[in-house]
Amino acid sequence: MSEDAPRLRLTSLLVVANLVGAVVTFCYLTFIDLSTRADSTASTFANVVFFPVGFAIVMGIATWVGARWAVPDPHPGLDVDDPDIRRRALALPLRMAAVAAIGWTLAGVMWGVIWPAFTETFSLTRLVRQIVGITLIGGSITTAFTFFAVEQRWRRYLPTYFPRGDLSAVPGVARLGVRTRLLVIFLLVGVLPLVIMATLALNRAHRILGADRAAGAAILHNMVVAVVFLLAVGLLTAVGLALFVSRSVAAPLRDVERAMERVGWGNLDTRAPVVSHDEIGAVAEGFNRMVAGLQERERIRETFGKYVSPEVRDEILAGGVRLEGHRREVTMLFSDLRDFTPWVESQPAEEVVRDINAYFTLMEGAIRAHGGLVVQFIGDEIEAVFGAPIAEPRHADHAVAAALEMCRRLETWNESRRAAGAIVLRHGIGVHTGEVIVASIGSPERLSYALVGDPVNLASRIQGLTKEVGGDVLVSGATVHCLKEPFALEALPAVRVKGRMAEVEVYRAA
């Protein structure tokens, strides 16, 4: 598209609109209001001289006004944030229609006042007829056609000036609503034809009064032909304008409908084009703001899920985690790296962070693969739960299976670390089943998903026993009694853990 393409295309629309108005005005003054032809007594030379001069004056004033309201053509360096450019771009259809209205108003004055005064044929009746024929009929049709045609064509270029679709953010621009548009169309197809019909009837009736029988019959026949012609033209005009305006309303609504379908399919990157400064444009802007809000909500949701896990995120967003909490039987799993402090002190910080993240990634993958949830990472420790926030009757089996999977994954990773000359890592895992309180813990400004109760503490203590009794995985008796599948577990002598008087039954994974 060349740089001056919009201007050339809009200029062609103006030429067509004024040509249509000129044809309508000529037909009206020639065939409808016959009295306007009889009022002129000026010479042909005077007509030849005055017409181009008057036309040049009208076009000169209209061109000057249009130049002051011109909009820079789209180009790569266009400043789309310039308030003046944005205001001009948004007001262009109305301003071009205003230029047409100004031109036809001047034409009515030129041929209704100045020309009659020059030819000494001025009269109030002639002034009214000329204003009706030129300004009211020809001017209104040209102005309406200019606005609707320019607006429809300008919609192709408007997004260039408003890439963010924020048309409503531009102050000081008149808004032509859908109701006003329909009212204009009603006046053109409903009221204007009645004015023409009334003028036709009055003119012919006036001429019939003083005519003989033959002349009266000819006038009546002429009136019938004119009425049939007006009905045909009026019908075509009404259908054309109806299709024209309905398209200007239906097209942007269809764009919004299609955008809604894309959002329904899950595509939140879609946007509805905002191409009009009316109620439909406001609907499109509101839709885009809604989609942007959904996009932001999804981004927060995804980011939130990286910190608290998708399950907890969805449970919190759905209101399933109450501040007062609720009780649920779950199986807790605690994992802790052994000799973590000496390892940290002997390795560069960057390598420690890299390795600990790789370890957490492997372990969380094993936990998640068996339906578990990592509640939090504490230093080198992992706290995980099975059976919350989504209830699962086989939470004990999943917890033990996850613990064994974690050991296998660590061993596989250690093989690659040995080959690379890196330090081999070891961990201890404790598993215990019991009833806990699932709740949101913290202040109103900052909350965390937490499980509170003695089973949580006991699972952590059992994990600590792995250093004393040997073995990487220790399972409490409470968990073993809940198992529904057989696991290779070795019963150990009951032990006493820190903070508890009663001994705890534990099993070691073989």
For 446-463, the pLDDT digits (tens) are 767 788 999 999 999 999
One-letter amino acid identity for 360?
F
Percent of the chain residues past pLDDT 90, beyond the cut: 20
* pLDDT for residue 184: 78
With a CB cutoff of 8 Å and minimum separation 6, the contacts of 366 are 402, 405, 406, 409
pLDDT of residue 481: 94
**Any long-range contacts for 116-120 (C-beta under 8 Å, 24+ apart)?**
116/39, 118/42, 118/46, 118/50, 119/40, 119/41, 119/42, 119/46
CA distance 253 to 248: 9
pLDDT at 279: 83
Which tens digits make up the pLDDT trace of 356-394? 999 999 999 999 889 888 888 888 899 999 998 878 899
pLDDT at 304: 54
* Contact by Cβ (8 Å): 129, 116: no
With a cut of 70, which residues of the chain have pLDDT below it?
1-8, 33-59, 62-63, 65-69, 75, 300-325, 444, 447
Question: What pLDDT, on a 0 to 100 scale, did the predictor assign at position 473?
Answer: 95
* Whole-angstrom distance, CA of residue 205 vs CA of residue 181: 35
CATH 3.30.70.1230 domain span(s) along the chain? 323-509
Give me the pLDDT at residue 305, please: 56
Task: Give the model's pLDDT for residue 2.
Answer: 44
| Cβ-contact 54, 114 below 8 angstroms | yes
Structure confidence at residue 3 (pLDDT): 44
pLDDT of residue 313: 60
The CATH number of 323-509, from 3.40.1030.10, 3.30.70.270, 3.30.70.1230, 3.40.50.2300, is: 3.30.70.1230
Q: What is the pLDDT of residues 235-290, one digit of tens each?
A: 777 777 777 777 778 888 888 889 888 888 888 888 888 888 788 888 888 888 88
483 and 433 Cβ atoms separated by less than 8 Å: no
Q: Which two tokens stand for residue 10?
A: 């809009």
Q: What tokens were used for 493?
A: 């002598």
Burial of 71 (0-12, 13-18, 19+ CB in 10 A): buried
Radius of gyration of the chain (CA): 42
pTM exceeds 0.85? no
| DSSP notation for 303-367 | HHHHHH-HHHHHHHHTT-S-TT-EEEEEEEEEEEETTHHHHHHHS-HHHHHHHHHHHHHHHHHHH
Whole-number Å distance between alpha carbons of 416 and 281: 61
